[in-house]
Amino acid sequence: MIKDNSQYVFTFSSGKKWKTRRRIITPSFHDSNLLANYIDIFNEQLDIGLKCFQTLADQQVETDLYPLISAWTLDVICETAMGKTVRAQTEESEYIKAVVRITELIALRTRSPWLWPRTIFKLTAQGREHDRLLKIIHKFTRQ
């Protein structure tokens, strides 16, 4: 059973409280110009991604598309949300490596119940690596 928690106020509130909160957030999802503001970024990053796809297609080798699509997504999100160009599709950086690796560590921790408690996780090599990677990611986002 879900207990009353501030994290759930938008999804599990009822009546007047829910209507008030819904009115606050609804305009964010109905701005018709919201995506139009970023179409140039989407197109620019898509052109870069398509060049990467074309290079692989010319080589006629079997390729996992997940890393390519992830890199494109990261480029778009970083440029639209943070105004930062990371060039994830064309360059390797400490930040990109940190994002990829911390994602793997989070997935590992999710599948390993004995690593769920923070105090235990911090004592493991994965926990220490996670904290080191998190510092890299935070340093990038603060710049």
Non-local (6+) Cβ contacts of 88 within 8 A are 70, 71, 72, 74, 75, 78, 96
Q: Is the pLDDT of residue 10 over 90?
A: no
Do residues 75 and 89 lie in contact, with contact meaning Cβ atoms separated by under 8 Å? yes
What digits encode the pLDDT tens for the residues 92-127? 889 889 999 999 999 999 999 999 999 999 999 999
pLDDT given for residue 3 in this prediction: 46
With tokens 């990053």, the residue in question is: 45
pLDDT given for residue 2 in this prediction: 41
Long-range contacts of 66-70 (CB under 8 A, 24+ apart): 70/100
pLDDT given for residue 135 in this prediction: 96
pLDDT, mean of residues 51-80: 89
What digits encode the pLDDT tens for the residues 14-58? 677 777 877 777 776 676 677 778 899 999 999 999 998 898 889
The confidence band for 1, taking pLDDT boundaries of 50, 70 and 90, is very low
Among 91, 87, 12, CA closest to 45: 87
pLDDT, mean of residues 70-90: 90
| 104 three-class SS | helix
pLDDT given for residue 72 in this prediction: 92
The confidence band for 11, taking pLDDT boundaries of 50, 70 and 90, is low
Q: Is the pLDDT of residue 63 over 60?
A: yes
